[in-house]
């Protein structure tokens, strides 16, 4: 009978398996992917369209932030004199408050055309040194009253958008004030102001114009005046 100790079991297979597991665990993980994923193109078009629409909407409906609004409400009231014996009190109109073209411009126009009147290239045309503004006064008044749509060429650049009508939002004195400010107070513009009576006459003459004017239609309107 042999006294030799028994041989240990063959462990080469187990060692191979353990090394394989360790090798898998010790392998470096791949670096994260750093490429920029852009979204669908229609989403960006939607954002741009929403910003443009929002600018027009706010410019038309946000109203004024100054004290002029409250002064205007006071000026629309009437003061009454003491009643005469046997009769009714006679209504006396209050003095009309002055209208600030600068305030109207800041609240109604600067959102699109900017505070300096230079507009946004390719989006909103400039009002500074524009023949549509400083030329025949009929043109800017007609634009403010009825709006402007379609392509227009100003100072060497093309624009194609929509300006809303303000005839229902501002009275004759307000339109005269803001147009006078644009024509004569913006940097570089030195054209003559317009009067409320001039605006009132044009409002009556142009009342049949339902849609905003195009550039060609404006030329025809200016030629008639």
Mean pLDDT of 155-181: 93
Length of the chain: 225
Neighbours of 138 (CB within 10 A): 20
Q: Is 200 exposed, middle or buried, given 0-12, 13-18 or 19+ CB atoms closer than 10 A?
A: middle
Give per-residue pLDDT as tens, 19-72. 666 666 666 666 666 666 677 888 888 888 888 888 877 766 555 544 444 333
Tell whether domain 97-225 is in CATH 1.10.760.10: yes
Token pair recorded at residue 178: 């803001």
Q: Name the pTM for this structure.
A: 0.57
Name the residue ranges covered by the structural domains of the chain: 97-225
């Amino acid at each position: 009978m042999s006294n030799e100790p028994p041989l240990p079991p063959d462990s080469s297979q187990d060692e191979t398996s353990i090394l394989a597991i360790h090798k898998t665990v010790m392998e470096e993980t791949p670096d994260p992917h750093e490429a920029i994923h852009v979204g669908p193109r229609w989403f960006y078009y939607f954002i741009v369209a929403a910003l443009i629409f929002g600018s027009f909407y706010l410019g038309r409906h946000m109203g004024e932030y100054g004290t002029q609004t409250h002064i205007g409400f006071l000026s629309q009231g009437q003061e009454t004199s003491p009643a005469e014996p046997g009769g009714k009190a006679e209504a006396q109109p209050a003095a009309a408050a002055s209208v600030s073209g600068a305030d109207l411009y800041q609240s109604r126009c600067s959102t699109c055309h900017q505070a300096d009147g230079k507009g946004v290239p390719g989006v909103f045309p400039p009002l500074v040194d524009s023949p549509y503004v400083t030329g025949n006064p009929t043109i800017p008044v007609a634009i403010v009253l009825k709006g402007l749509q379609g392509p227009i060429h100003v100072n060497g650049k093309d624009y194609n958008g929509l300006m809303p009508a303000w005839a229902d939002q501002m009275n004759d004195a307000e339109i005269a004030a803001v147009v006078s400010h644009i024509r004569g107070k913006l940097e570089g513009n030195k054209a003559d102001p317009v009067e409320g009576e001039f605006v009132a006459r044009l409002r009556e003459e142009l009342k049949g114009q339902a849609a905003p004017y195009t550039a060609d239609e404006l030329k025809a309107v200016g030629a008639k005046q």
